[in-house]
Amino acid sequence: MAVPREAIRNRVFELMGVSDSRPLRITTNPEIHRILKPKEGAFDEPGARNAAVRSFDYPLTQAGDLSRLPIEFQNEWFSRKEIDEILFHDPKILRLERKTGAPGFLNLIRDAREHALLLRSGKAYSEEWKTLPPEHIQKGVVAKAGEVPTKANEFNAERVAAELVGQADRGVRPVLFDVGTGGGGTLLPIIQRIAKQNPETLKRLKIAFLDVMPAGVEHVKKELAKLGVGEEQMVPMVLNFMDLAGVEGFEATLEQGEKAARNDALKELEKLRGKVTVITSGAAVHHVSDVTPMFAAFNRLLSRDGKVIMWDWGHHRTQAPQLRLSEMHRAVEGVTEGIAPKQRDTVVAMANTWMSLLGYSRHAQEKVLKKMQEYERKGKPFDFQKLLATSRVQLESFKTARLNRAYNEQSPVALFHEGHRPPILYKDAMQRAGLVVEHVKYPLVTRQTKPTDTENLLYFIEARKK
Ligand SMILES: C[S@@+](CC[C@H](N)C(=O)[O-])C[C@H]1O[C@@H](n2cnc3c(N)ncnc32)[C@H](O)[C@@H]1O
């Protein structure tokens, strides 16, 4: 009997929570949900759902879904074998297996599970945004776009603007695409620069921008109009990275209203295929668990001489369950130009950055950093997130008492899982996706940069179509 591929896939998607738009905690098999979102409810209080999370403007404090971690690190945090055990023992799947007895059945389930994990990472991210009230998104994210870290966006703007102006001078019609535009922190400085220095290029420029957050896309449209960009020059797209990457099946996770916007955006995206002359992105690609399909999409979108000029945060494995700073004195791998920070410096800088974002006092920050140095001196391993979340000083300095309690009462691990990769992982994925990597650098790191400085985290990659 033929293998009922589709039936298997559909059932695995159901069990993994990605076959409809309702929240993951409702749609996922409860055992699988516990594996993938072990801290669901960490911030809940009776009568005040998500109140603690909402006291922040950005979903930094979410009890994150582990599917969102970089695929390269996931196995340290959850066991695919455990998930598969549950899938293999599902009565419906067992019935399908009995019916067919097909060899390769287990592989079909594993493939469907991997596919579902990717879809889940996209759904989990959208879901986390939706827990924030619109006024917080507007005030805390959209309006603040570009404040952190301005230096990286400024550096990026200089490079991207130069490339676009050069293309226009060579008679190429420049088409820019900003991936993960947010409130425009990356895109607007590029356009401001061109508007000021090369107004002729601006007139010929087509500007595509994409984000899953509609408020950000609307804001960017208005800001571009203020800079003199005509509506016909803009291609705004409210779309999830999963759709950009062409991961099949994402539509099922969307609500009715979102589906129409998605269809329009997909049509626009299709029109850009082979036409984009520069793809840029700032601090956004790290949200994707598997970047290879996304970079393959970049490759499809780029014109023959098209370029990727992007930057992101990177640090050395702060997502690992255990870190040993004493063994991390090598330079970050894969850097082709300039100074590469030491791996341990990226960890220290990341700790400092998280603490600033979460509102630790200066005194509290210093205490945590001292503790890290102590571990390093003694050659002892530590859990980065636990250290940040449980240190006593942090309890004094956190913004709200409610949040303190949420951290205190729950085991803190995996409270703020955002995946940031060191550059070598982007470089490898780009090469797998058929792009040619030209430069990898930390242009903001100088001999004067201190280990705690955010500059140690900000790297730039330039690549081109083969
Ligand atoms: C840190 S912000 C960076 C925004 C902007 N580039 C800047 O520098 O200000 C990351 C952006 O990526 C978007 N993003 C993250 N995951 C996404 C996904 N799965 N699909 C679409 N957009 C996503 C977020 O909504 C957010 O606006």
DSSP string, 115-160: HHHHHHHHHHHHHHHHTS-HHHIIIIIITTTT-TTHHHHHHHHHHH
Please give the distance, rounded to the nearest whole angstrom, from the Cα atom of residue 78 to the centre of ligand 1.
Answer: 25
**Nearest-angstrom CA–CA distance, 185 and 192:** 11
Residue 257 is assigned to a structural domain of this protein: yes
Q: How far apart are CA 110 and CA 87, in angstroms?
A: 9
59 within ligand 1 shell (Cβ under 6 A):
no
Q: Which amino acid is at 416?
A: F
The CA-to-CA distance between both ends of the chain, in Å, stands at 44
d(CA 195, CA 431): 34
pTM of the model: 0.91
Are 255 and 157 found together in one domain?
Answer: yes
Q: Ligand 1 atom closest to Cα of 152? A: 8
> H or E stretch including 405?
helix 401-409
Among 23-27, 109-113, 320-324, 369-373, the least confident range: 320-324
Does residue 429 sit within a domain? no
Domain-located, residue 160 = yes
Count CB atoms within 10 A of the CB of residue 353: 20
In tens, the pLDDT along 170-190 reads 999 999 999 999 989 999 999
> Is there a domain that residue 52 lies in?
no
Q: In what order do the strands lie in the sheet with 206-211?
A: 234-238, 206-211, 175-179, 276-282, 302-313, 458-465, 435-441
Domain final position from 290, 312, 334: 312
Instruction: Answer whether residue 463 is part of any domain.
Output: no
In sequence order, what E strands does 267-337 have? Answer: 276-282, 302-313
Residue pair 189/160 in contact by the 8 Å Cβ criterion:
no
Measured distance CA(436)–CA(298) in Å, rounded: 12
DSSP conformation letters of 57-84: SSGGG----GGGS-TTTGGGTS-HHHHH
Determine the Cα–Cα distance for residues 160 and 194; give it in Å rounded to an integer: 10
Helix axis angle, 150-169 to 187-197, nearest 10°: 50
| Rounded Cα gap, residues 175 and 157, in angstroms | 15
Q: Looking at the CA of residue 242, tell me the nearest atom of ligand 1.
A: 19
Amino acid at the residue 7: A
Gyration radius (Cα) of the chain, Å: 23
What pLDDT shows up at residue 404? 52
On whether both 184 and 305 belong to a single domain, the answer is yes
Domain edge (last residue) among 296, 312, 328: 312
285 & 213 share domain:
yes
The DSSP code for 438 is: E
111-125 confidence digits (pLDDT tens) = 999 999 999 999 998
Å from CA of 171 to ligand 1 middle = 32
pLDDT band at 251 (very low <50, low <70, confident <90, very high): very high
347 ligand 1 Cβ < 6 A: no
Q: Do 295 and 329 lie in a common domain?
A: no
Asked whether residue 136 is assigned to any structural domain, the reply reads no
Mutate to test the pocket of ligand 1, among 147, 213, 286, 294 (most ligand atoms within 8 A of CB): 213
Q: How far is the CA of 240 from the centre of ligand 1 (A)?
A: 10
Contact 286, 459 (CB under 8 A): no
Same domain flag for 271 and 146: yes
Q: Cα–Cα distance between 10 and 226 in angstroms, integer?
A: 47
User: In terms of Cα–Cα distance, which of 261, 213, 207 is closest to 232?
Assistant: 207
> Contact, 288 vs 121, CB < 8 A?
yes
Backbone phi and psi for residue 446, each to the nearest 5 degrees, phi listed first: -125, 180
Do 272 and 319 belong to one domain? Answer: no
* 125 Cβ inside 6 Å of ligand 1: yes
Full residue range of the structural domain in which residue 94 is found: 1-36+79-131
Residue 217 shares a structural domain with residue 282: yes
Give 342's DSSP letter.
B
Which of 253, 281, 312 finishes a domain? Answer: 312
Is there a single domain that holds both residue 149 and residue 267? yes
Q: Please state, as a whole number, how many other Cβ atoms lie within 10 Å of the Cβ of residue 280.
A: 28
CB of 189 sitting under 6 A from ligand 1: no
How far is 39 from 182, CA to CA, in rounded Å? Answer: 27
The pair phi, psi for residue 79, each rounded to 5°, is -105, 120
Q: Classify residue 49: in a domain, yes or no.
A: no
Res. 53 pLDDT band, cuts 50 70 90: very low
11 vs 102, 104, 355, CA distance in Å? 17, 17, 42
Here the CATH number for the domain that contains residue 275 is 3.40.50.150
Picking from 91-105, 107-121, 327-341, 422-436, which range would have the lowest pLDDT averaged per residue?
91-105
Q: Assess if residue 71 is contained within a domain.
A: no
Whose CA is closest to 297, among 314, 285, 313? 285
Number of domains in the chain: 3
| Same domain flag for 192 and 116 | no
Bridge-partner residues for 337, per DSSP?
A: 441
What percentage of residues in the chain have a pLDDT greater than 90? 65
- Per-residue pLDDT tens digits for 122-151: 999 888 777 766 666 766 666 655 444 689
For ligand 1, what atom is nearest to the CA of residue 141?
27
Going by C-beta distance under 8 Å and a sequence separation of 6 or more, which residues neighbour residue 379?
Answer: 324, 326, 327
Q: Does the Cβ of 138 fall within 6 Å of ligand 1? A: no
Instruction: Assess whether 258 and 385 both reside in one domain.
Output: no
Residues 212 and 283 in one domain: yes
Same domain flag for 11 and 22: yes
Using the predicted structure, report yes or no on whether residue 397 has a pLDDT greater than 50: no
